[in-house]
Amino acid sequence: MVLADLGRKITSALKLLSNATIINEEVLNEMLKEICTALIQADVNIKLVKQLRENVRSVIDFDEMAGGLNKRRMIQSAVFKELVKLIDPGVKAWQPTKGKSNVIMFVGLQGSGKTTTCSKLAFYYQKKGWKTCLICADTFRAGAFDQLKQNATKARIPFYGSYTEIDPVIIAREGVEKFRLENFEIIIVDTSGRHKQEDSLFEEMLEVSNAVDPDNIVFVMDASIGQACEAQARAFKEKVDVASVIITKLDSHAKGGGALSAVAATKSPVIFIGTGEHIDDFESFKVQPFVSKLLGMGDIEGLIDK
Amino acid sequence: MFSMFRNLVGSKTLTKEDMQSVLEKMKDHIIAKNVAADIAQKLCDSVATKLEGKVLGTFSSVTSTVKNTLNESCVQILSPRRRVDILRDAMEAKQHNRPYNIVFCGVNGVGKSTNLAKICFWLVENGFRVLIAACDTFRAGAVEQLRTHTRKLNVLHPAEKHNGQQMVQLYEKGYGKDAAGIAMEAIRYAQDTHIDIVLIDTAGRMQDNEPLMKALAKLINVNNPDLVLFVGEALVGNEAVDQLTKFNQALADNSNMTNPRLIDGIILTKFDTIDDKVGAAISMTYTTGQPIVFVGTGQTYTDLRNLNAKAVVHALLRA
Ligand SMILES: Nc1nc2c(ncn2[C@@H]2O[C@H](COP(=O)(O)OP(=O)(O)OP(=O)(O)O)[C@@H](O)[C@H]2O)c(=O)[nH]1
Ligand SMILES: Nc1nc2c(ncn2[C@@H]2O[C@H](COP(=O)(O)OP(=O)(O)OP(=O)(O)O)[C@@H](O)[C@H]2O)c(=O)[nH]1
Ligand SMILES: [Mg+2]
Ligand SMILES: [Mg+2]
């Protein structure tokens, strides 16, 4: 993932600080340039990158400060704070409650991996002993119900959907009602892919959300996305109450930096990552341990303010 | 005080230093519009090289000169050296009594199957009979997805309107089978039953996934299609470069031909989801030198366009 791969580049950029005899504006700029280039190559939103640069710069006043060690420390910890901000929205990840019906609704752009990830998440909870099911509220995409049905059947997960009903709101409502009555604990609702430019699709998403009253809305984002992510993610958040992010296709060469802007735009943490097409190519993602690991890496150790 | 008139007096020979800050801004601008970072850098470097030493006209500023040159470069990148004319080539194949075969490939979820269906609709509208070969035998629902499209397309173009001929057929062998073999059977079936065009759908695959890339190369090797189209989404960022480079590389590395078949053209999908962040068009064409044959602009059969290079560059450079 982006920050993990960036670790090396950032370490080497930070070495510029340790190697320099005096820390001046020039050294700082050179270091920031390296870090920003790496972030931009990883698709991190350019506005966020510029902000990071400004925020780090604003911490240091070269005229006022003395003492090389102090400057080094301040710069390094400012860099870390900003990097952590990219991935940690400062919100606790949603957790389902045992013994009650937890409705999880999936939303996202076309082809981002919603249907595949729905099955992965269902499989994950089922393996942990939760009573789990899937609902296909995508009546638009050709073969959508077959896709979910085949995935669910293979993993022996109960599912609900229809070949004839064309209104996703009705399917979603009926499915959730049915599974609530049967005391399912994890009820996952898959929806069609959509984008902010098409109002009717966004309106439909809101209607499905209102019909099923989800406990958690997951925004699914493809790791290869570039600069368009931020505006889309923000629009989804404005329409429905997105509370979690899942980044898919991290088995690709992509670093997922573009997808990270969904974290800032939706103020929601990444809860899982997808790392392949198979149902168990799925890893839970915890922001805090990830950040500690990042901060604990090699030369970086002990740089953050205690 | 007089500095504001600087550009008006006399002529000036451009140096790299004059252009640097403008170019830096331009680079950030096109990166924000989703051009891959390395390509943005290369583009700006080439603009600098082109302009260095040029004498600036009396009334032109450095900024507008740089911008115009960048504009020209981008239009040039997007303007194909070679036109892909599917209707003409398919007609020619038909005259030689053989089907015209197109392979659709790309990473997962970019819109291969959907845009295959749109192109099928366009071909049927132009009077061709089409066989869709379901060679994604892996992803759940992939076959049913194409079956649904086949049914819908036949409803739009019923046999009654075409001298009793069914315009679209599906060739499928379910899941788990070898894709290259199914493609071969489909082409043979089209040949035997006088179907004009075979559209070969393939499973999405990551460019680093060696076994899957080998399998694609095999499919292309053994069937030697008339056209290999790479499907890429306009949403993709820096990854566009790596995808295209590695697809081409895998096709070249795994070929037994002296002139290996590579990507012949690009379908740029989801163009309706990116507002003015049109940079992927530049990244993809710059990387391959191949034309964008179609642009996908939505989820229905008519959402298929030709690329308008000037409009794309306009959106790219607009503030
Ligand atoms: N390599 C890889 N492929 C994935 C991953 N997650 C999903 N995919 C693939 O991405 C493609 C699209 O996935 P879907 O689950 O159909 O996406 P979707 O968001 O439901 O698509 P729509 O319903 O059409 O909007 C499929 O080929 C999946 O197999 C992943 O983590 N890694
Ligand atoms: N907005 C928009 N959506 C598109 C476009 N083209 C395809 N899609 C949508 O993208 C999603 C994925 O399309 P598919 O055709 O299944 O993609 P694929 O590349 O065949 O996917 P895999 O076979 O799973 O790798 C579907 O929801 C399509 O409706 C487009 O031009 N615009
Ligand atoms: Mg889906
Ligand atoms: Mg497909």
User: pLDDT digit string (tens) for B31-64?
Assistant: 999 999 999 999 999 999 999 998 887 667 899 9
> Cβ–Cβ of B37/A198 closer than 8 Å?
no
> Cβ–Cβ of A228/B235 closer than 8 Å?
yes
- With an 8 Å Cβ cutoff, is B109 touching chain A? yes
B270: nearest CA partner in chain A: A110
Say what the pLDDT of residue B29 is. Answer: 97
Residue B129 has pLDDT above 50, yes or no: yes
Q: Which residue has its alpha carbon closest to ligand 2 atom 21?
A: B109
Say what the pLDDT of residue A296 is. Answer: 61
Beta strands B12-13 and B55-56: pairing type?
antiparallel
Cα(A138) to ligand 4 centroid in Å equals 16
- With an 8 Å Cβ cutoff, is B316 touching chain A? no
Instruction: Indicate the pTM of the whole model.
Output: 0.95
Q: How far apart are CA B270 and CA B286, in angstroms?
A: 19
Beta strands B130-135 and B168-171: pairing type?
parallel
Tokens coding A30? 């050179």
**Residues above pLDDT 90, as percent of chain B:** 88
> Cβ–Cβ of A142/B139 closer than 8 Å?
no
The half-sphere exposure of B47 on its side-chain side, counting CA atoms within 13 A, is: 29
Mutate to test the interface with A, among B273, B278, B287 (most CBs of A within 10 A): B273
According to DSSP, the residues that pair with B199 across neighbouring strands are: B102, B132
By the 8 A CB rule, do A231 and B275 touch?
yes
DSSP per-residue codes, B34-57? T--HHHHHHHHHHHHHHHTTPEEP
B190 CB contacts (<8 Å, ≥6 apart)?
A: B99, B131, B171, B196, B197, B198
DSSP per-residue codes, B198-265? EEEEE----TT-HHHHHHHHHHHHHH--SEEEEEEETTB-THHHHHHHHHHHHHHHT--SSS-----E
Q: In one letter, which amino acid is B219? A: L
Find the helix or strand (DSSP H, E) in which B17 lies. helix B16-32
Q: How far apart are CA B90 and CA B252, in angstroms?
A: 25
**Residues above pLDDT 70, as percent of chain B:** 96
Map tokens 């009077």 to a residue: B127
Q: How far apart are CA A264 and CA A107, in angstroms?
A: 17
A275: nearest CA partner in chain B: B206
According to DSSP, the residues that pair with B56 across neighbouring strands are: B12
Pick A41's closest partner by Cβ from B37, B110, B146.
B37
Say what the pLDDT of residue B11 is. Answer: 63
B168 CB contacts (<8 Å, ≥6 apart)?
A: B120, B124, B129, B130, B131, B132, B150, B153, B154, B157
ipTM: 0.95
Count of Cβ atoms closer than 10 Å to residue A45 Cβ: 28
> Cβ–Cβ of A224/B31 closer than 8 Å?
no
Residue B108 has pLDDT above 80, yes or no: yes
A292 CB contacts (<8 Å, ≥6 apart)?
A: none
By the 8 A CB rule, do B102 and B120 touch?
no
> Cβ–Cβ of B238/A46 closer than 8 Å?
no
Tokens coding B130? 């089409």
> Cβ–Cβ of B145/A143 closer than 8 Å?
yes
DSSP state of B3: G
**Closest alpha carbon to B286 in B23, B46, B13, B11:** B46
Angle formed at CA B165 by CA B163 and CA B168, multiple of 5 degrees: 140
Q: Which residue has its alpha carbon closest to ligand 1 atom 29?
A: A277
Mean predicted confidence (pLDDT) in B127-135: 98
Q: Is A114 in the pocket of ligand 1 (CB under 6 A)?
A: yes
Residue B303 has pLDDT above 60, yes or no: yes
For residue B238, the chain A residues in CB contact (below 8 A) are 41-43, 226, 254
- With an 8 Å Cβ cutoff, is B108 touching chain A? yes
User: What confidence tier does B244 reach under pLDDT thresholds 50, 70, 90?
Assistant: very high
Ligand 2 proximal residues by C-beta, below 6 Å: A 110-111, 141, 193, 195; B 106, 108-115, 136, 139, 142, 203-204, 269-270, 272-273, 296-299, 303
B24 CB contacts (<8 Å, ≥6 apart)?
A: B44
**Residues above pLDDT 90, as percent of chain A:** 73
Say what the pLDDT of residue B287 is. Answer: 96
According to DSSP, the residues that pair with A104 across neighbouring strands are: A188, A216
Neighbours of ion ligand 4 (CB under 5 A): B 112-113
Per-residue pLDDT of chain A (306 residues; tens, 9 = 90+): 777 777 778 878 888 888 888 888 888 999 999 999 999 999 999 999 999 999 999 888 777 766 656 788 888 888 888 888 889 999 999 999 999 999 999 999 999 999 999 999 999 999 999 999 999 999 999 999 999 999 999 999 999 999 999 999 999 999 999 999 999 999 999 999 999 999 999 999 999 999 999 999 999 999 999 999 999 999 999 999 999 999 999 999 888 999 999 999 999 999 999 999 999 999 999 887 787 776 665 444 444 443
A206 CB contacts (<8 Å, ≥6 apart)?
A: A239, A240
